[in-house]
Amino acid sequence: MENLVPKLRFPEFESPWEQKKLGEVLQRMQSGISRRLSDTDIGYAILRSNNIFENKIVFDDLKYWYLIDDQGVDLNKFILQENDILVNFINSLAQIGKAALFKNRINRDVIYTTNLLRLTFKNEIFPEFIISLFYTKVYRDFVTSITKPAVNQASFTTKEFQGYTINFPSLPEQTKIAEFLTAIDKRIELLTAKKEKLTLYKKGAMQKIFNQKIRFKQDDCRDFPEWTPCNAGDLFASVTNKNHNSDLPILAITQEHGAIPRNLIDYNISVSEKSVDSYKVVEKGDFIISLRSFQGGIEYSNYLGICSPAYIILKPKVAIVDQWFKYFFKTDSYIVQLNEKLEGIRDGKMISYKYFSETRINLPSLKEQTKISEFILSIDAQIQKVEQQIILNQNYKKGLLQQMFV
């Protein structure tokens, strides 16, 4: 049998790795059951393919199967045990092969549906080692090679899956590798939870700030002036400037990035040279009413470029702090106000400048706009720092997966 050694290895291990087929190390491989499911919380909890998310089992949106509806099936055969692995083997191409380690988080018996495979391993195999292996590109490439695409859902056979060749170290080395990678996962989970808390804090703070339940003080501790109620039309004009030679970058208007050159994101839509002639110029500091404005799509441009004439370009008529309006236009209360203008307008249509101009805005002074913007920007900076830490840890793990397995 071929002896194999990974590129990266813990120094206390020297014994060679051995190749085995997946089927050789399985104690059990079993698909689940197909029954009518219920939302009523009684009987067995049932895991479905959508409960496997990013290689974790999510116990949200559970379905149930009444105990009295067993139809002669021995349900005990389908009750999941700790450290079983569930694999999607009948699903969409995007989900096929996705797997997760079962840890019972709900203190009740859990079974699983027929498009999931349950893997139980022999004693010489550490299941966490297998699930780490299922993160690798080698595993994904293998799943792709045995998957048979179909119109509604793809699948692979259990026989082909059992033929997957795996390189195994000793059980102690399996354990060491898996525990090391699990520690990185835990750190990513903690960072992700931290990001979620910061995001919720930002949302709550913005709601209180823009509802004026929280007010800032001037540098000398005096109160800022009262906010001035006005219509959006008093603050922004609709402008149309087509004075360009089609040599400016075409901007995509997105909720994630605002107005951004198409070549900076994955946004491939071909346009004819003639149609570009009719495009509108967007200057840095302009806002754009997007096609999804009623979902919070009044976007800001940090770029000089051109965009489709379908969009409405807004230019400030008075002095403003751009960042304050970037935040304000994304508040729930303002989006609700935009939706009040949607009566009789089908989903997918853009809010007109007339509708926009009639929305009400309570406007703080320029100095308070600045102070508010700086505060929220400081939270954004914390969120961005955590996001970078998450990416660094994910890339670190990805590099380890390529070097710690053979």
CATH 3.40.50.720 fits 1-17+170-225+370-406, yes or no: no
pLDDT at 316 (0 to 100):
96
Q: Which residues contact 24 (CB under 8 A, 6 or more apart)?
A: none
Which tokens belong to 32?
Answer: 């689940």
CA dihedral 179, 180, 183, 184 (to 10 degrees): -140
- Over residues 59-65, the mean pLDDT reads 86
Which tokens belong to 296?
Answer: 């919070």
Can you tell me the distance from the alpha carbon of 103 to that of 370, in angstroms, rounded to the nearest whole number? 49
> Which residue(s) pair with 110 in the sheet?
45
Q: pLDDT digit string (tens) for 211-237?
A: 999 999 999 999 999 999 999 999 999
pLDDT at 245 (0 to 100):
83
| Residue 293 confidence (pLDDT) above 70 | no
Residue 360 carries which side chain, given as an amino acid letter?
R
Residue 390 carries which side chain, given as an amino acid letter?
I
Using the 8-state DSSP alphabet, how is residue 277 labeled?
A: T
Can you tell me the distance from the alpha carbon of 310 to that of 289, in angstroms, rounded to the nearest whole number? 10
The helix (H) or strand (E) run that includes residue 378 is helix 366-404
**67 — pLDDT class (breaks 50, 70, 90):** low
CATH 3.90.220.20 fits 228-363, yes or no: yes
Q: pLDDT digit string (tens) for 329-375?
A: 999 999 888 887 665 455 556 688 998 999 999 999 999 999 999 99
pLDDT at 268 (0 to 100):
61
Q: pLDDT digit string (tens) for 130-151?
A: 999 999 999 999 999 999 988 7
pLDDT at 139 (0 to 100):
95
CA distances from 379 to 151, 216, 371 (A): 46, 16, 13
pLDDT at 272 (0 to 100):
55
pLDDT at 33 (0 to 100):
87
Can you tell me the distance from the alpha carbon of 204 to that of 210, in angstroms, rounded to the nearest whole number? 10
Can you tell me the distance from the alpha carbon of 369 to that of 383, in angstroms, rounded to the nearest whole number? 21
Q: What's the mean pLDDT when you consider all of the chain?
A: 90
pLDDT at 37 (0 to 100):
80
pLDDT at 66 (0 to 100):
67
Can you tell me the distance from the alpha carbon of 133 to that of 318, in angstroms, rounded to the nearest whole number? 59
User: What do you get for the CA distance between the two ends of the chain, in Å?
Assistant: 15
Which tokens belong to 303?
Answer: 């770029």
Domain topology for 19-168: Adenine-n6-DNA-methyltransferase TaqI; Chain A, domain 2 (3.90.220)
Using the 8-state DSSP alphabet, how is residue 388 labeled?
A: H
| Residue 270 confidence (pLDDT) above 60 | no
- Over residues 193-208, the mean pLDDT reads 96
Instruction: Write down the pTM of the prediction.
Output: 0.83
| Residue 201 confidence (pLDDT) above 70 | yes
Angle between the 171-210 and 366-404 helix axes, to the nearest 10 degrees? Answer: 170
Highest mean pLDDT among 60-64, 184-188, 254-258, 292-296: 184-188
Q: Scan for tokens 């090679």, then name that residue.
A: 145
Same fold, 19-168 and 228-363: yes
pLDDT at 269 (0 to 100):
61
pLDDT at 1 (0 to 100):
47
| Residue 89 confidence (pLDDT) above 70 | yes
pLDDT at 300 (0 to 100):
95
Which tokens belong to 368?
Answer: 């308070």
- Over residues 115-140, the mean pLDDT reads 95
| Residue 95 confidence (pLDDT) above 80 | yes
Q: Scan for tokens 């709601």, then name that residue.
A: 207
> Which residue(s) pair with 4 in the sheet?
17
* Lowest pLDDT segment from 34-38, 47-51, 96-100, 163-167: 34-38
The helix (H) or strand (E) run that includes residue 281 is strand 280-282
Which tokens belong to 113?
Answer: 């549906």
Domain regions of the chain by residue span:
1-17+170-225+370-406, 19-168, 228-363
Long-range interactions of 394-402: CB distance < 8 A, separation 24+: 394/188, 396/184, 397/135, 397/181, 397/184, 397/185, 397/188, 400/8, 400/180, 400/181, 400/184, 401/132, 401/135, 401/136, 401/137, 401/181, 402/7, 402/136, 402/137
Can you tell me the distance from the alpha carbon of 383 to that of 364, in angstroms, rounded to the nearest whole number? 26
Angle between the 332-339 and 171-210 helix axes, to the nearest 10 degrees? Answer: 70
- Tell which wins on pLDDT, 271 or 107: 107
pLDDT at 275 (0 to 100):
77
pLDDT at 72 (0 to 100):
67
**11 — pLDDT class (breaks 50, 70, 90):** very high
- Tell which wins on pLDDT, 402 or 197: 197
- Over residues 379-387, the mean pLDDT reads 98
- Single out the residue of 336, 319, 331 nearest to residue 370, CA to CA: 319
